[in-house]
Amino acid sequence: MPNRLAHATSPYLLQHADNPVDWYPWGEEAFAEARRRDVPILLSIGYAACHWCHVMARESFADEQTAQIMNANFVNVKVDREERPDVDAVYMEATQAMTGHGGWPMTVFATPDGEPFYCGTYFPREHFQRLLLGISHAWRTDRTGVVGQGKRVAEALSAPRTLPSGPPPSAQVLEQAVARLAAEYDTVNGGYGTAPKFPPSPVMEFLLRHHARVSDGAETEALRMVRHTAEAMARGGIYDQLAGGFARYAVDATWTVPHFEKMLYDNALLLRCYTHLWRQTGDELARRVAVETADWMVAELRTAEGGFASALDADSEGEEGRYYVWTPAQLRDVLGEEDGAWAAELFGVTEQGTFERGTSVLQLRADPDDRERYAYVRDRLRKARANRVPPARDDKVVTGWNGLAIAGLAEAGALLDRPDLVERAREAARLVVERHYADGRLVRVSRDGVPGTSAGVLEDYANLAEGLLALHAVTGEIRWVGVCGELLETVLTRFTDGSGGFYDTADDAEALFNRPREFTDDATPSGWSAAAGALLSYAALTGSFRHREAAEAALGVVSTLAEKTPRFAGWGMAVAEALLAGPVEIAVVGPKGDPVAEELHRTALLATTPGTVVSRGDGVNDGGIGLLEGRTLVDGRPAAYVCRNFTCRLPATTTEELTAELARA
pLDDT number for residue 9 = 86
574 Cβ contact list (under 8 Å, min separation 6): 202, 205, 206, 209, 533, 610, 611
DSSP assigned state of 187: T
Q: Do the beta carbons of residue 541 and residue 526 sit within 8 Å? A: no
Residue 156: band (very low, low, confident or very high) from pLDDT cuts 50, 70, 90: confident
Q: Where are the alpha helices (DSSP H) in 101-160?
A: 125-141, 143-158
Domain final position from 102, 135, 158: 158
343 with 437, same domain? no
C-alpha 337/C-alpha 256 separation (Å) is 25
Domain final position from 565, 581, 597: 581
pLDDT number for residue 208 = 98
The answer as to whether 197 is a domain residue is: no
Question: What count of Cα atoms within 13 Å lies in the side-chain half-sphere of residue 61?
Answer: 29
Q: Do the beta carbons of residue 461 and residue 490 sit within 8 Å? A: yes
Domain final position from 538, 558, 581: 581
DSSP assigned state of 2: -
383 with 443, same domain? no
pTM for the model stands at: 0.95
421 with 546, same domain? yes
* pLDDT at position 638 over 90: yes
66 with 117, same domain? yes
Structural domain for 39, as ranges:
11-158
The answer as to whether 261 is a domain residue is: no
Strands 41-46 and 75-80: parallel
pLDDT number for residue 136 = 96
Q: What is the CATH number of the domain that holds 72?
A: 3.40.30.10
28 with 62, same domain? yes
Q: How far apart are the first and last CA of the chain?
A: 67
The answer as to whether 654 is a domain residue is: yes
| Tally: H helices and E strands in the chain | 25, 20
Q: If you compute the radius of gyration of the chain from its CA atoms, what whole number of angstroms results?
A: 26
Q: Where are the alpha helices (DSSP H) in 356-513?
A: 371-385, 399-415, 419-435, 458-475, 479-490
367 with 408, same domain? no
pLDDT number for residue 491 = 98
574 with 591, same domain? no
Number of domains in the chain: 4
575 with 589, same domain? no
Q: Is 228 exposed, middle or buried (0-12, 13-18, 19+ CB in 10 A)?
A: middle
* pLDDT at position 633 over 90: yes
* pLDDT at position 264 over 70: yes
The answer as to whether 47 is a domain residue is: yes
Q: Which of these, 175, 264, 241, 177, lies nearest to 213 by C-alpha position?
A: 175
Tell whether the torsion through CA atoms of 76, 82, 86 and 89 is positive or negative.
Answer: positive
Q: Residues 201-228: what's their mean pLDDT? A: 96
Tell whether the torsion through CA atoms of 318, 322, 328 and 334 is positive or negative.
Answer: positive
Q: What is the pLDDT of residues 384-404, one digit of tens each?
A: 999 999 999 999 999 999 999
CA 594 to chain centre: 36
Query: For residue 107, what are the β-bridge partners?
Result: 44, 120
The answer as to whether 233 is a domain residue is: no
The answer as to whether 43 is a domain residue is: yes
For the chain, the 3-state helix, strand and coil shares in percent, each to the nearest 5, are 50, 15, 35
DSSP assigned state of 141: H
521 with 589, same domain? no
Q: What is the pLDDT of residues 330-378, one digit of tens each?
A: 999 999 999 999 999 999 999 999 999 999 999 999 999 999 999 999 9
pLDDT number for residue 223 = 98
Q: What is the CATH number of the domain that holds 491?
A: 1.50.10.10
Residue 1: band (very low, low, confident or very high) from pLDDT cuts 50, 70, 90: low
513 with 557, same domain? yes
The answer as to whether 629 is a domain residue is: yes
Cα torsion at 346, 347, 348, 352 (round to 10°)?
Answer: -120
481 with 453, same domain? yes
C-alpha 507/C-alpha 488 separation (Å) is 15
Q: Do the beta carbons of residue 605 and residue 640 sit within 8 Å? A: no
C-alpha 36/C-alpha 318 separation (Å) is 38
Q: What is the pLDDT of residues 498-555, one digit of tens each?
A: 999 999 999 999 999 899 999 999 999 999 999 999 999 999 999 999 999 999 999 9
550 with 487, same domain? yes
The answer as to whether 187 is a domain residue is: no
